[in-house]
Structure 1
């Protein structure tokens, strides 16, 4: 887990010392063999996910905030490889080189990350589901330790269903998305619950009003859904 925490934190403390064009906010990719790693960074949340064309491998993430010009504070809120790490916090200094994120493990190994997008767009940010339609009525979902989040950059998304107190992980999926003319479309690249969904494209009606995102359509199983997500 030390490697996992360091991998992210090496990406972020440069916020206070780099120009806007070099900001680490957004989506990043690293490929090793047949495994793809994708790192998503919003102003408050991050996720790191490993997967290949056949299966979801692992994912972890949580919240972060800047702690001085060259450090960030990180709190791990889910980790599919080791739930006992949930709740751990750390502060680590870091940097960026030549437009790429260069991350290092405690043993000295380095990993290069290539930018996918710069994290801008009307849906970019961290969202929590706050209400869902049931029997024709929108029903509020109380804020609790068990939560479902969506992390979006300019072109990539990931949802996670977790309990941030117990470390329980209930599922995650992600890939690319577009949001044009009131239509939100996801293309699934990984899905922890059912790898047969990989490659599917799902379209939804969507609108953003302030910090609320109204989202309706059919789930990957074909069930009708109508949800409201609120920006954190």
Structure 2
């Protein structure tokens, strides 16, 4: 009886532990004929993922894609919610084989090196913007619709993406590295699809976790005061 229970528990825990192995951020680089390097940054958080592609030296944005994922033996089933270079991917699920050994991931024709495993960082996970403060009141926003603004964070990397799963429209993205120290959340911008001139800038915000939500306040990249509420993404 005890052996049966232990076996059942191990069968339940094993796939979860396997999924945890991918959590965090990964990078891969490629060079063109002139020697210019393109960086791919891949983040897995919970059951969601995103990949950003940009010039390594200057941060010029090239592309992004992502959505949700599940593990099935030695394949990843990737369901796309945004893909600015190939909008027809949105809504499709692709099975991709992968191998993981130590901190090296072979996936999609690239060799990825782990940057972090989801730590440190109080804000590891996938988040959806769920409210804003207006005239002193928090105005909630429905997160179940097709138009979403998602922010996905590993232990040290972040990316935000605005997209619409129904129209397959991509509205924008940005990302880079971040820190959370003494109630301050600081973003260091590594790429920004709307304005390459913002690359290299650092933005500091106040952050607080209240009832599981992330309260984010300070000045936007345009210098405007903001107060946003982000909720953990479940679906």
TM-score scaled by length of structure 2: 0.84
C-alpha distance after superposition, 1:53-101 (max 9, x if no partner): 151000000011234x434432100001011110001334432134301
Aligned length: 211
Match of 1:57 in 2: 62
The 5-angstrom pairing of residues 43-122 of structure 1 reads 43-52=46-55, 53-67=58-72, 69-104=73-108, 110-120=109-119, 121-122=121-122
Match of 2:133 in 1: 133
Matched, 1:170 2:174: no
* Structure 2 residue corresponding to 1:23, chosen from 21, 24, 27: 21
Instruction: Identify the structure with bigger relative contact order (alpha carbons < 8 Å, sequence gap 6+).
Output: 1
Task: Report the Cα distance in structure 1 between the residues aligned to 2:217 and 2:59, rounded to whole angstroms.
Answer: 29
8 Å contact kept, 2:188–2:203: yes
**Structure 1 moving runs of 4+ over 4 Å:** 17-20
Which ranges of structure 1 fall in alignment gaps of 5 or more residues? 1-14, 105-109
Task: Report the Cα distance in structure 2 between the residues aligned to 1:98 and 1:178, rounded to whole angstroms.
Answer: 25
8 Å contact kept, 2:158–2:177: yes
Task: Report the Cα distance in structure 1 between the residues aligned to 2:122 and 2:102, rounded to whole angstroms.
Answer: 28
Task: Report the Cα distance in structure 1 between the residues aligned to 2:18 and 2:93, rounded to whole angstroms.
Answer: 27
C-alpha distance after superposition, 1:40-63 (max 9, x if no partner): 111111011110115100000001
How far off is 1:136 after superposition? 2.9
How far off is 1:124 after superposition? 0.3
The 5-angstrom pairing of residues 145-164 of structure 1 reads 145-164=146-165
8 Å contact kept, 1:16–1:70: no
8 Å contact kept, 2:27–2:42: yes
Superposition CA RMSD, Å: 2.0
8 Å contact kept, 1:131–1:228: yes
In 2 relative to 1, CA 141–102 (structure 1 residues): closer, same or farther, beyond 3 Å?
same
TM-score scaled by length of structure 1: 0.85
Task: Report the Cα distance in structure 1 between the residues aligned to 2:98 and 2:197, rounded to whole angstroms.
Answer: 38
